[in-house]
């Protein structure tokens, strides 16, 4: 029995997108309350009845999310260009090796926008 599970995480961070120039709304220093939804997929364990225990998923993912919380993203190694696309890739690079069943990262800066990355 194959299933997909999701778990939502959040972090607060500031950034600025210097390369866009002063007329762009993302140029000045500003912050977001980021929402990150982690999706995993695989076979349900017939003994536990779980694909993965949500507590175990949180134990794996939260330390990586915490590395971004209350930071200025431009100062985080690998995120000098701190778009949601690059944040999704940054998270994938750190999570996939420790969470092989990871199939998708969905990251939102605002309720209206989302970047979805599946490791391609
Ligand atoms: Zn922004």
CA of 25 to the centre of ligand 1 (A): 8
If you measure from the C-alpha of residue 33 to the centroid of ligand 1, how many angstroms do you get, rounded to a whole number? 10
For the 2-53+60-117 domain, the top CATH level (class) is alpha beta
Q: What are the distances in angstroms from CA 41 to CA 10, 28, 35, 36?
A: 21, 39, 20, 17
Distances (CA, A) of 12 to 19, 29, 96: 22, 14, 22
- β strands within the chain, DSSP E: 2-15, 30-43, 71-72, 102-108, 115-117
C-alpha of residue 75 to centroid of ligand 1, in Å: 14
Assessment of whether the complete model's pTM goes beyond 0.85:
yes
- The crossing angle, in degrees rounded to 10, of helices 54-66 and 84-95 is 120
Beta strands 102-108 and 30-43, pairing class: antiparallel
Domain boundaries, the chain: 2-53+60-117
Catalytic residues: 26, 70, 109
Residue by residue, pLDDT tens for the chain (120 residues) are 999 999 999 999 999 998 899 999 899 999 999 999 999 999 999 999 999 999 999 999 999 999 999 999 999 999 999 999 999 999 999 999 999 999 999 999 999 999 999 999
């Amino acid at each position: 029995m194959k299933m997909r599970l999701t778990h939502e995480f959040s972090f607060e961070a500031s950034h600025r997108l210097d390369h866009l120039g002063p007329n762009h709304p993302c140029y000045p220093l500003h912050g977001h309350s980021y929402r990150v939804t982690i999706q995993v997929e695989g076979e349900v364990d017939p003994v536990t009845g779980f694909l993965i225990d949500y507590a175990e998923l949180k134990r794996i993912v939260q330390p990586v999310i915490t590395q971004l919380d209350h930071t200025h993203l431009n100062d985080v190694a690998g995120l000098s260009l701190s778009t949601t696309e690059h944040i999704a890739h940054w998270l994938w690079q750190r999570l996939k090796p420790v969470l092989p069943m990871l199939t998708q990262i969905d990251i939102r800066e605002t309720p209206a926008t989302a970047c979805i990355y599946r490791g391609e």
